[in-house]
Every structure is written in C-alpha cells, then in structure tokens.
Structure 1
Amino acid sequence: MKLGRHSPAPKRQKCDHWSPCPPGNFAYRILSGGGKERTATICFEDEQLVGEPGSGINIAIVNYKTGEFSSTNFFHMWAHDHSKQMMDFIRSAPKGTLLLMATQDDGSTRLKDYAKELVENLGSKEIKNIKFRSSWVFIAAKGFNLPDNIQREKINHSDQTKNRYKGWPAEIQIEGCIPRNLM
C-alpha cells in the first residue's frame, strides 16, 4: 500500500534554469570558478561554451541574431600579461554579438587598466574592482542594448581567508532569458 503522493521529477530546463524561458528568448547561465575544483562555466541555449579549466578571464562570443556560438578563449592573468590578446579578442567580436565572461582563479593580477576600460565601455561597473582571485561574471552586448531588467554582472571578493575554499572566493552566477528581438 502506497502512502502519500510522489511528484514527478521536475523537467530539466535549458542551462539548468528552474523554469523555462518564455518562447522567443535565449537562456544563459554564467558561473565563475570557485576553488580549484569548481571551474568557470558558460552556458547559452543549453550548450556549454566554457567548462574546461581556463584560468583567468574566460570569454564566449555568441551571435545574437542566430544564437550560434562563435568562439571562446581564456586569458591567463597570473604569470603573464594577456591584456592585449584579450582586447584583440573582444574587438574582433562583430556587432550583434553577446560576450559572456567569467573568471576562474585569478583574472586581475596582470590585467592592465586599458583592458579594464574596454570592458567598462561594454557596460561593466565592476571590472575595475576585481582583485586577486575575485569571482566575477558579466554579460555584454556589442552593437545593441540589453534590457534593463537583465542582471548583467556580479562580483565576489569576500574575505578569502574565511571561506570554504581556503583562500578562494565562492563561485557566483548570473542567469536569465534574453529576448531575441532587441536589434
């Protein structure tokens, strides 16, 4: 004899959202790294664009009109300065693209101010505040504007000596749905 009722398991949504995006929207989730075992991940329309260890600043470029993945790269900022290469990668993204960014480990030690200004010009309010091993995520549009109600950025550089990752801040994320008709 069965006691109680069992609810069916919830259906998995794109990019592991709790609820589906409305029709005519793209789903995205950007998750920073946290600790050595928690790598940065970038998901767009249920396709994981970044998920392998890429220490530094991870960037994925997506064509906004089609939702198709264009390219991805990571820019290590601890041992060497890759600010120019990161700027060239961002500048190479054509108008009409989304840039999704997440840090893994250290994205700031060798990041030059001129590279921070480029990201700030894309709409970042926190890029100049990132510190050693800060967790940072950001989504930007190149050549068009994102709706005001979309969370674009998040940063965490909490007391790194008193957290679960022993010197690393916890991972953070932003996720949402972007209407397909902004351009």
Structure 2
Amino acid sequence: GVLRVLFLILTLIVTWLLLSKFFNVNWRNLHLKAQRWVGQDSPSCPTCMLKTSKNKCGLEKSCPPYHFAFKIRSGAANVVGPQICFEGVNVMSSVKNNIGRGLNIALINGIGTSGVLLTTDFFDMYSGNVDDLLKFMKRVSRGTLVFVASYDDVSTKLTKEAKAIFTEIGSSLVESLHFRDNWVFAGAKGIQEKSPFEQHVRNDKNTNKYDGWPEVLELGGCIPKKMD
C-alpha cells in the first residue's frame, strides 16, 4: 500500500513538471508571436509603442538636476498623429484629441522649476489661415518653451513672417521647409543662440518611407531650467 501511494505521488510530480514545462514553452512562443504581430520587433514602425523606460518621456538617460525632460514625435504621413511629451506627461497626442494637421505647438513656462503647461494648439498650414498662427506666436512671452511637431503638411501657408518668428526662438531649419516635410523643434522665447533641438527631413519620392511622406522624426532631450 505504501509503495502504491509513493508511486502515485511520484507519477503526479513528474506529470506536473512535464505539463509546466510544456505550457511555459508554449506561452513564451505565443508571447513572441504577439510581439511580432503588433510590430514590437520593428523599431521603425511608426505606430508601435515607445520602449518602456523608467526615465521621463522614455528617454534613454535621466535628465540632470534643473533640467526638463521632453520628447517630440512628428506625425506619420497623414495617418498617425504627432506626440509631445514633457516631464513624463503627454501634453499633445491623438489620445488627448488635441492634435491636427499642420503645426502642433505646446507652450511651457520655462522659468523656475515647475515647468507649467500654458497652452497647446494646432494650425492647419495647408488650408487654414496663417494669421491664427501669427496671433498665437506673437503672444508668447519671454522665457516660454516652445515645442513643435509637424503633421502632414506645414509649409504651404507658412509665410516669411511666420518663419521669422520661429527663427527668433532658435530655429535654423524653418526656412528650409517644403511641402509635406517633417519637422520637430524645441526652442524658447528670448533664446540667445540657435536651438540644438531640431530635426528636419525632406519630402522626396526617392527616399520617402511612406507613399508621399517622409519618415517619422523623433527628438528627445533635456532642456535647462531658467531660474530667473
């Protein structure tokens, strides 16, 4: 009787170990297939989620003291909207439903340590009125951080006066924008030199990643806090 009980217990243990190994392997394979299905093994996929990170806005490294963390992503063609993250919070995105075709702009109070969001807005540079953009930008006060992400087209209605305003806040590439180019930029009102936070890619049928649109741009970094 004792031997039969021991044999039964041993059989149950072996069976449990085999089943555990089987389900673990199959679960791992299923998980990998799911990752491939949503595109997580393709870093160039514009609709994929950002890699998880403990740092604000998914930056590879944390920002030093007295710096703001940010990340800007342009739109993907005219399908996937842009995204602006500041201090770990997405201030503009499709989820928040506050983005649109053209220039997507977030204004942050860059003076002091708080980094308070002042306002966000978007301006259609294809069929909209550039005067709306001019009124918005002319109200920007000294010390304000300006984050810009393109979506679809930003150039058609962008006048010399509008370009000059972005040049004054640190842009060195706004004069080079053409139809359906992608552009991401972070500047500040009252900046004394050109901003190091800017990227631009041309709409070129020979190099476009999407049909009629260039690749997505993503720009992240740490902006010093202005203490006075």
Q: Percent identity?
A: 34
Aligned residue pairs: how many? 174
Say which one has the larger Rg: 2
- Counterpart code for 2:107: I
Structure 1 ranges of 4+ moved more than 4 A: none
* TM-score, normalization by structure 2: 0.69
Q: Choose the corresponding residue for 1:113, options 143, 157, 160.
A: 160
| Distance in structure 1 (CA, Å) of the matches to 2:163 and 2:188 | 16
State the superposition RMSD in angstroms: 2.4
Question: Which has more strand, going by share of residues?
Answer: 1
Tell me: CA distance 1:50–1:11, structure 2 relative to 1, closer, same or farther (3 Å).
Answer: closer
| Distance in structure 1 (CA, Å) of the matches to 2:52 and 2:84 | 22
| Distance in structure 2 (CA, Å) of the matches to 1:76 and 1:24 | 35
Structure 1: gaps of 5 or more residues: 1-8
**Secondary structure of the residue that 2:65 maps to in structure 1?**
coil
Contact conserved, 1:33 with 1:105, CA < 8 A, in 2? yes
Q: After superposition, what is the alpha-carbon deviation per residue over 1:43-96, rounded to whole angstroms, capped at 9, x for unaligned?
A: 11011111124110011000012201000110001113x222112111212212
- The farther-off stretch of 34-43 and 165-174 is 34-43
| Distance in structure 2 (CA, Å) of the matches to 1:18 and 1:137 | 19
Tell me: CA distance 1:134–1:11, structure 2 relative to 1, closer, same or farther (3 Å).
Answer: closer
Tell me: CA distance 1:156–1:11, structure 2 relative to 1, closer, same or farther (3 Å).
Answer: closer
Match of 1:175 in 2: 220
Match of 1:165 in 2: 210
Question: Which has more helix, going by share of residues?
Answer: 2
Contact conserved, 1:106 with 1:134, CA < 8 A, in 2? yes
Q: Choose the corresponding residue for 1:35, options 55, 71, 77.
A: 77
Q: Which has the higher contact order (CA 8 A, sep 6+)?
A: 1
* TM-score, normalization by structure 1: 0.85
Displacement, 1:151? Answer: 2.6
| Distance in structure 1 (CA, Å) of the matches to 2:190 and 2:205 | 37
**Secondary structure of the residue that 2:167 maps to in structure 1?**
helix
- 1:124 lines up with 2:166 in the alignment: no
- What are the residue-to-residue correspondences of 1:1-183 with 2, within 5 Å? 11-52=53-94, 53-65=99-111, 66-80=114-128, 82-145=129-192, 151-160=196-205, 162-181=207-226, 183=228
- The farther-off stretch of 160-169 and 57-66 is 160-169
Contact conserved, 2:199 with 2:217, CA < 8 A, in 1? yes
Q: After superposition, what is the alpha-carbon deviation per residue over 1:126-157, rounded to whole angstroms, capped at 9, x for unaligned?
A: 111111110001111113447x7x63211001
